[in-house]
Structure 1
């Protein structure tokens, strides 16, 4: 089955409104702490993965730290959560490999 969404690896400024939108939605559902929804000084330094539906709605996001960790992973809707999270991680892993960053570990 083909994904009903696409995942893009982008800098924060290229997708800030959509990245923030999905973080806030996840926080409202209790999937992220309120502090994790806020933009921090690191967002501009990190690379982000953004999952979008075919009509452009934000479905999930994650970010890659310069030392190869993936954090702030969130995906909605819940019935597609595992599939979206896997795709987010794959895109960031591919980006990390291009930069020759050490193996990636997910932060909790």
Structure 2
């Protein structure tokens, strides 16, 4: 069992029985936490797929949940200022492209 818990044979003989027991218990808890995390990810993924499919066949589709709504506390809601700045950058790029296109085609 100790080898499955990443305890080398040399470490095993250096530890006391209580320390080996603690390491094995910690390993078991860590494995359970990882399994719970994977189950939670699978469940959340399934729920998002179910909601998406329901929206395809619904007469009144709902707005899909955003990542900060699904994982509350893990992700912060983005600020509107950031979104506006992206739109302003895109608008400036389009205007610059439009002006360059006009100049190129007027000379022709």
**TM-score range for the pair, normalised by the shorter chain length:** under 0.3
Higher Rg of the two aligned structures: 2
Comparing both structures, which one devotes a greater share of its residues to strand? 1
- The answer to which structure has the higher helix fraction is 2
Using the size of structure 1 for normalisation, the TM-score is 0.24
- Structure with the bigger RCO (C-alpha within 8 Å, sep 6+) is 1
